[in-house]
Structure 1
């Protein structure tokens, strides 16, 4: 009886701390400078999550080292629910392999995933002077003309690079990769004809597609998307393996109490189902993700790490490229 009473008292003592969460402002670390996709998405999440939790969420931009500085800071923070990370999950997942042995945090072990909140789809685009109008024609052209195709990307671990490598590997095409320091310069050269193909995020490519300066062959999603309704999905275009997006999610430091992670997860689930938030994200080219549990989110991140590790090794992608 005394043991049960002690247990009840202990539970009673701990319950108010979780019940009161959050009772002070929460910091959301964005591991990139202001203005980029992660920052824009993070600020929408910070505003609307703050309203849902009835507490201020302060954005803390900590750019540098490809997102590693901010991610490490979040991983080393107190696991109390008052420091979170707005993660660019696809990029973080590739860095695990590209920067192996150099990272001072572990994406899988040092975080408690809260929820995947959204993704930015990519689209295969070519310069209109290239004599192809479909993905199948692009593959046929590449196979018939070894080394005549090249593809641009914005960095070794970027989803753009991964998409290009999937096409090169699965279609067995000999084509040259051309590395750029960012999507802007890559798109400029693609439109100008210095390179002839790229797998780029839809928001970055959309204006060029609409202006007829680039030709869209397929979106890298299992189904068509509202921003490019006339462009076939990758499976429709004949390459179901071309399933890659720039994915974003909220992570807490490992060891954050389960009731707090659950509270955050439930709040985020409301957001990603809210028509207002869906519209705000879509204006930035982001499709809100279906709600997932923390466990499901963790499984997805682990699967991303494993998938991209395999591709990086097969394509011999190096961090310094």
Structure 2
């Protein structure tokens, strides 16, 4: 009996202590881990949001870059961090929903079990572009040329499993064509070779293509998401052009380690929503960054992760993309 009472007392003390931590959160700086190099899309989103949330929360949100292994090093770091709300992850689709199906070796973390989703902050899509001097005059023309000359059209992307690669594979599957994928170490290199005519086309991020489109160096034919891009309102979606169900987007979201107090998750979600409505954040991430702001609930973000895991599992399998 005495032992049982002692255990109950310890449990009660731990519960009260956890509650006190949630009530006083945050009381020190918060680390926001970005599993990519500085300057990329996720890093920019992290720094814009961290600056605004810091002002509201009264503590610094410090962005730390931990790149490597296609985003898996930084993602795993947060999966194994203490679930106290002071180590967060600003991640994109790749490590969470693509890598589990892309790699032969199991990822060191479980995207469904090792994280507490806080909010999908934003999403971005891709635009199919060809060089200005290309003989390809439309999306239908591109498909017709691919059918007439199997294996002759080429497209580049930021690497195997990148959004631009997966969009190209989905197009090939839906049109029953063979096109050559050329992987690069970043979107910039792929875009350079499209501009020079070395590649037939690419699915590039909207934000990096817009300046080239405006300068007349690229011709855009379609965007990859479920709706038109705000910065390219005259360019139709793939679905509008007849490719029913074609949707390739990349999310950027905030997560905590699994086991984080739900009250801390709720507080962080509220701060994400507040920051996402700030005009300065909208200007930097939407008007200049080409993103769509989402700021969804933790439950919606968890559902998005589950849905995208299945989407990319099927696509990688059906496209016979080799395991990395």
> TM-score, structure 1 length as denominator?
0.91
Name 2:220's counterpart in structure 1.
Answer: 216
2:137 matches 1:166: no
Name 2:5's counterpart in structure 1.
Answer: none
Tell me if structure 1 keeps the 8 A contact 2:120–2:297: no
Tell me if structure 1 keeps the 8 A contact 2:50–2:61: yes
Name 1:46's counterpart in structure 2.
Answer: 50
2:88 matches 1:84: yes
Name 2:263's counterpart in structure 1.
Answer: 259
Deviation at 1:215, TM superposition (A): 1.0
Q: What are the within-5 Å matches in structure 2 for residues 9-48 of structure 1?
A: 14-48=18-52
Give the whole-Å Cα distance in 2 for the aligned partners of 1:94 and 1:8: 41
Deviation at 1:58, TM superposition (A): 1.0
Q: Cα deviation per residue 1:43-78 (whole Å; 9 max; x = unaligned)?
A: 111111212222111111111111111111111100
Larger CA deviation: 29-38 vs 138-147: 138-147
Tell me if structure 2 keeps the 8 A contact 1:272–1:288: no
* Cα distance change of structure 1 residues 26 and 170 upon mapping to structure 2, 3 Å threshold: same
1:60 to 61, 64, 78: 64
2:306 to 283, 302, 305: 302
Which ranges of structure 2 fall in alignment gaps of 5 or more residues? 1-8
1:237 to 220, 235, 241: 241
Give the whole-Å Cα distance in 1 for the aligned partners of 2:285 and 2:224: 19
Name 2:146's counterpart in structure 1.
Answer: 142
The 3-state SS of whatever aligns with 1:236 is: coil
Name 2:254's counterpart in structure 1.
Answer: 250
Tell me if structure 2 keeps the 8 A contact 1:91–1:157: no
Tell me if structure 2 keeps the 8 A contact 1:156–1:319: no
The 3-state SS of whatever aligns with 1:265 is: helix
Aligned residues: 316
Tell me if structure 1 keeps the 8 A contact 2:116–2:257: yes
> TM-score, structure 2 length as denominator?
0.91
The 3-state SS of whatever aligns with 1:234 is: coil
Tell me if structure 1 keeps the 8 A contact 2:231–2:290: no
Give the whole-Å Cα distance in 2 for the aligned partners of 1:83 and 1:170: 41
Give the whole-Å Cα distance in 2 for the aligned partners of 1:288 and 1:69: 27
* Cα distance change of structure 1 residues 14 and 38 upon mapping to structure 2, 3 Å threshold: closer
The 3-state SS of whatever aligns with 2:39 is: coil
Name 2:6's counterpart in structure 1.
Answer: none
Q: What are the within-5 Å matches in structure 2 for residues 80-159 of structure 1?
A: 80-159=84-163
1:268 to 269, 272, 286: 272
Larger CA deviation: 144-153 vs 162-171: 144-153
* Cα distance change of structure 1 residues 184 and 257 upon mapping to structure 2, 3 Å threshold: same
Give the whole-Å Cα distance in 2 for the aligned partners of 1:292 and 1:140: 40
The 3-state SS of whatever aligns with 2:67 is: coil
Moved over 4 A (4+): 6-14
The 3-state SS of whatever aligns with 1:237 is: coil
Which ranges of structure 1 fall in alignment gaps of 5 or more residues? 1-5
Q: Cα deviation per residue 1:200-246 (whole Å; 9 max; x = unaligned)?
A: 10122122212222110011122222211221122222224331122
